[in-house]
Structure 1
Amino acid sequence: MRKAHIIATLFGAGLAFGLTTGLTNAAEFEIQMLNKGEKGGMVFQPDFIRAMPGDTIKFLSSDKGHNAEAIEGMLPEGVEPFKSKISKDFELTVDEEGLYGVKCTPHYGLGMVAVIAVGASENEDTARAVKHRGKAKKRFDSIFEEYDATN
């Protein structure tokens, strides 16, 4: 019995240490906001990320004049819409499972969009049903092809 008590105490101490030091398994991803990237002009690079709840996505203002904004209808239920300031880095912690659609407000029509897939994609049908204009529609087609290939 004494051995079990020691093990339980050590486990509890380890858990407390992990909680108080912020030790977690959360990953951190970076998305550059660019005037020109691997897939053309006005892009998030990468434009598709597969993450898990608790992960952090950092949008880096690599080129000036861009931001990151949630696309209406392309967020998991219960997630508050977000919109960063132009030319400023922005961090988003994705806590809810589902698809997060992101656009650069001034360059949305030029196709500057991204998708973050977090865990199970409960809102996939809703996110895919959102209508887009201009090059954004073509970019989403390409992103969803990549998404389908990873499922």
Structure 2
Amino acid sequence: MLLRPAALLLTTLFAATGALAEVHEVRMLNRGADGAMVYEPDHLRIAPGDTVRFLPTQAGHNAASIAGLLPDGAVAFKSKINQPFEQTFATPGLYGIQCIPHLAMGMVMLIQVGEPGAATIPEALPDRARSRLAAQLEKLRAQP
């Protein structure tokens, strides 16, 4: 009988920890407040363990990590085109996100998980994507 209250206590503790994690929504748009082919919002600051839900509100978009703009130990990911997608971010650091079909048009975003870390925007990215990532990085650094 003593095991049941202990098991209940452990289950409650684990459920409470999971309840602290947040789900953030990002819309994938053909046109938004900042122009054509954007994620809204285009940058997030979240806690480790939080989840981001990517919503393709218009056709032809996906969400994928950018090679060279992931924290050490983070696993790359890629959603299917036109499918809602959820990604949980456990490893602290800066994540670059791209819409593969619209990368050349600058459809990128940044997600800062936990404390800021060093980040370099990959030179191999198209100019428009690098420019938007640089602007998003400045926005993140300006936030308290």
TM-score category by the smaller chain?
0.7 to 0.9
How far 1:11 moved relative to its partner? Answer: 9.5
How far apart, in 2, do the equivalents of 1:87 and 1:129 lie?
A: 26
How far 1:12 moved relative to its partner? Answer: 8.2
The structure-2 alpha-carbon separation of the partners of 1:129 and 1:138, relative to structure 1 and needing over 3 Å to count, comes to: closer
Aligned to 2:127: 134
The structure-2 alpha-carbon separation of the partners of 1:22 and 1:121, relative to structure 1 and needing over 3 Å to count, comes to: closer
Aligned to 2:140: 147
How far apart, in 2, do the equivalents of 1:137 and 1:23 lie?
A: 35
Aligned to 1:115: 110
- Cα-Cα RMSD: 2.0
The structure-2 alpha-carbon separation of the partners of 1:15 and 1:92, relative to structure 1 and needing over 3 Å to count, comes to: same
Runs of 5+ consecutive residues of structure 2 not aligned to the other structure:
none
Runs of 4 or more above 4 Å deviation = 10-15, 20-23
How far apart, in 1, do the equivalents of 2:136 and 2:6 lie?
A: 43
> Could you give the per-residue CA deviations for residues 11-50 of structure 1, whole angstroms, max 9, x where no partner exists?
9855532425774200110000000001000000101000
* Residue 102 in structure 1 maps to residue 97 in structure 2: yes
The 3-state SS of whatever aligns with 2:19 is coil
Aligned match for 1:37, one of 28, 32, 37:
32
Aligned to 1:81: 76
Superposition TM-score, scaled by structure 1 size = 0.84
Runs of 5+ consecutive residues of structure 1 not aligned to the other structure:
1-9
Computing the radius of gyration over CA atoms, which structure comes out larger, 1 or 2? Answer: 1
The 3-state SS of whatever aligns with 1:66 is coil
User: Kindly, what percent of the aligned residue pairs are identical?
Assistant: 39
Aligned to 1:4: none
